[in-house]
Amino acid sequence: MSELIIKNIQKFYGDHKVIDKLDLQINSGEFVTLLGPSGCGKTTLLRMIAGLETIDGGELYIGGRKANNIPAQKRRIAMVFQSYALFPHMSVKNNIVFGLRIKGMELHDMFTRLDWVLPLLGLEGLENRLPREISGGQRQRVALARALVLDPDVLLLDEPLSNLDTALREMAMEELKRVHRQVGKTIIYVTHNQAEAMTMSERIAVMNAGHLEQYDTPGALYRHPRTMFSAEFIGSPSANFIPGTIEIKNGELVLNSEIGLLEIDETRKDYLRNFSGRSVVAGIRPQDIILSSTRTHRRASDSHVTLGVELIENHGDRSFVLGRFENGLPVRFMAANDSDYRTDARVEVLIDGRCIHLFDPETRQNILEK
């Protein structure tokens, strides 16, 4: 069993608290991503799991065994470093079998493993090259191969694709998913790129300034962001945030926002009555703001708002539009390219009340998702 439990874990650099009482549970064979902006402590947490940094508080269990004080050499954890950390003086082959040699594995078994991993990662023919004689993508695969041959309980990957160009990164992402399916290892993957996290992971741990914001499946993170940070970090482009108040008008519950009255869907109205009079921040994804002209029927939960188009970024099938509401608040949304809008025009959009996420402006928590 190779499940991983992190309980109340802490890390300090001097007085600087880098990881703050973080809890995380990762099932055996699961692909989990640590996602967060640069400097939020992802690498530090990964290094603590690997045994390369001391744990200053809390507990770490690997496969049911408390691992706080097990040295890195004995943790049965393999890590792929952001820089790949390939040994520059060893051939690809010797890099890959280094760990097996250290363990004193028989030559025969070593070659069996090598014969398994080289085709798995498409490295045949490169065995005798030095790291400086292969491309970035190949180095990344050597680093992965070197980790996989160790047959670790847990595989840690620290932004392994960040040094690759876009095309190569997409290939590597698919490959990594395929490898995970084939070997079924527990994988903890670190990235600051939400698209990478959304594509590959079974669950995503969104980190911010050393603590956990939300731990959920990609779908749940997208549909039910627990905090404003999650809503902003997940999804591209980022969500729009519009301040407002929950009010009862003529017996109907509405959101009185800075851009006008916004409808809320029926299903949430009853619950929200408890919140009437409270200030909130409405989080609305660019994908949930729709040009009125493209929608023929109107739902009860839709609100009409007008805005001025300022900038259009063409993405082929759709465009990313930057605009401004009448009160001057900026807004981002996506629009199909065959619809009728242009720069400096005024357009009417629909905002679907079912897609409005409501956050407490103080705690920045979603007031509906507990």
Ligand X SMILES: Nc1ncnc2c1ncn2[C@@H]1O[C@H](COP(=O)(O)OP(=O)(O)O)[C@@H](O)[C@H]1O
Residues of this chain that bind other proteins (CB under 8 A): 47, 50-52, 71-75, 77-79, 81, 83, 85-91, 93-94, 98-99, 102-103, 128, 130, 146, 150
Interatomic CA distance for residues 347 and 65, integer angstroms: 60
Cβ neighbour number for residue 278 with a 10 Å cutoff: 15
CB closer to ligand X out of 27 and 163: 163
| Binding of residue 33 to Mg ion (CB under 5 A) | no
Under DSSP, the state recorded for 368 is S
Q: Are 50 and 188 in contact (CB under 8 A)?
A: no
| CA-only gyration radius of the chain, Å | 25
CB closer to Mg ion out of 39 and 330: 39
Residue nearest to ligand X (CB): 43
| Binding of residue 43 to Mg ion (CB under 5 A) | yes
Interatomic CA distance for residues 303 and 301, integer angstroms: 7
CB closer to other proteins out of 191 and 230: 191
Interatomic CA distance for residues 246 and 315, integer angstroms: 36
Structure-token pair, residue 165: 């160009």
Name the binder of 119 from ligand X, other proteins, Mg ion, none, CB < 5-8 A by kind: none
CB closer to ligand X out of 9 and 284: 9
Name the binder of 18 from Mg ion, ligand X, other proteins, none, CB < 5-8 A by kind: ligand X
Q: Which long-range contacts (C-beta less than 8 Å, at least 24 apart) are formed by 12-20?
A: 12/56, 17/210, 18/44, 18/210, 19/44, 19/45, 19/48, 19/210, 19/211, 20/209, 20/210, 20/211
Cβ neighbour number for residue 289 with a 10 Å cutoff: 22
Structure-token pair, residue 346: 């005024």
Could you say which of 9, 42, 160, 204 contacts ligand X (CB under 6 A)?
A: 42
Q: Point out which span in 33-41, 69-77, 137-145, 269-277 binds ligand X (CB under 6 A).
A: 33-41
Q: How far is CA 362 from CA 21, 257, 366, in A?
A: 21, 17, 11
CB closer to other proteins out of 132 and 249: 132
Could you say which of 6, 9, 35, 40 contacts ligand X (CB under 6 A)?
A: 40
Could you say which of 4, 6, 18, 24 contacts ligand X (CB under 6 A)?
A: 18
CB closer to other proteins out of 75 and 332: 75
| Binding of residue 39 to ligand X (CB under 6 A) | yes
| Binding of residue 139 to ligand X (CB under 6 A) | no
Applying CB under 6 A, the residues found at the interface with ligand X are 13, 18, 36, 38-44
Applying CB under 5 A, the residues found at the interface with Mg ion are 43
